[in-house]
Amino acid sequence: MVFIGGNKRVKNTRGVYPLLKGMSSHKLPTTTSAAENSDLIVYVNGKLVQRNDASISVWDHGLLYGDGVFEGIRAYNGVVFKLKEHVDRLYESAHYIRLKIPMSKEQMSEAVLETLRENKLQNAYIRLLVTRGVGDLGLNPMNCSNPSIVIITEPTNSGEDPISKPVGVSAIISSIRRDPVDATSHEVKSLNYLNSILARWEAIDAGVNDAIMLDTQGFVSEATAENIFIVAKGQLATPSIDSAILHGVTRQRVIEIAEDLGYVISERRITPFELINAEEVFMTGTLAEIVPILKVNGRNIGPGKVGPVTARIFGEFTKIRTKTNEGTPIYSNQGKSGEIRAPLQEKSLTKI
């Protein structure tokens, strides 16, 4: 007999910062509530099932050991932003942990698109997971025969525009260090986020929105779920990959945007001193997009308000994120502006 615990359900706040008393808060993009999403369809191992019927085994090593990889992806106005890059990263993570995904990249991408179509979504957050699969209670990964593949899609709301609204977040520098690249490297987007969760608890206890984590050498690494950028003397810098960071898809696009706008940008090691004394600091991530950090360890960043570089980059990001050349259209009859001209009829996956 297996006992399933009965903890009280709480509202889904994945990637969303708590609104804390007495603090101005950046309103981040959010997914809708479980009640609103009760009719959504979920992809589970080749089948499209109702949300309430979506499940995997309690003997799945993704649950028992966090043995698996995932991606968080956004769709804007009918275009899945950087789908190819996210799927490539998923397979790179899986390759590193010796997890063979039993689908080609093309098949995986089509499964994502078909799940979105089934839910009739144009603006969505997508969670794509691949676990080691069902095994026994032992650690041996060889006892897991078939990986489990899950695709969850939910409608999402856009965040507030920092160009026109006085928004931003506060952070601390966490005492929890990022795992080094020769250990459980955060270059792998794995199902084990305990390192980030411990740092996020420190942020909660300190009454701030997020925690900035250092690497084992004491240099700035990243936030609990986002990459970090600083602006100093009009130039941008972001921690290099030897600082134990995730190779962020949004991070890379922001680097390209900054270069296109004529900014000097470097990928290098950044000290906590440089972080706190920067003119501007902002975070980047798939769900978060671009989030200004206005205070770190109780000290204002620059004048304590959204800076012009952050605002300009965010403005450019909002212009490009819905373009078809920045991602993959969900619907084959979709125009350049994202409108759907007629409903699609074909379905390629099994629905139960």
Task: Please give the positions annotated as active site.
Answer: 189
In 258-349 the beta strands, taken as DSSP E runs, fall at: 265-268, 280-285, 289-296, 299-300, 327-329
The pair of structure tokens assigned to 133 is 């699969």
**Which residue type does 189 have?**
K
Instruction: Select from 45, 52, 42, 39 the least CA-distant residue to 9.
Output: 52
Q: Are 305 and 311 in contact (CB under 8 A)?
A: no
In the numeric block, the tokens 């098949």 are attached to 107
Q: Provide CB contacts within 8 A for 311, sequence distance 6+.
A: 162, 163
What are phi and psi for residue 310, nearest 5 degrees? -60, -45
In the chain the beta strands, taken as DSSP E runs, fall at: 41-44, 47-50, 68-76, 79-81, 124-131, 148-155, 169-173, 210-214, 220-223, 227-232, 235-239, 265-268, 280-285, 289-296, 299-300, 327-329, 350-351
What are phi and psi for residue 307, nearest 5 degrees? -90, 165
Radius of gyration of the chain (CA): 20
Residue 214 to residues 67, 87, 250, 269, 281, Cα–Cα distance (Å): 25, 28, 20, 10, 15
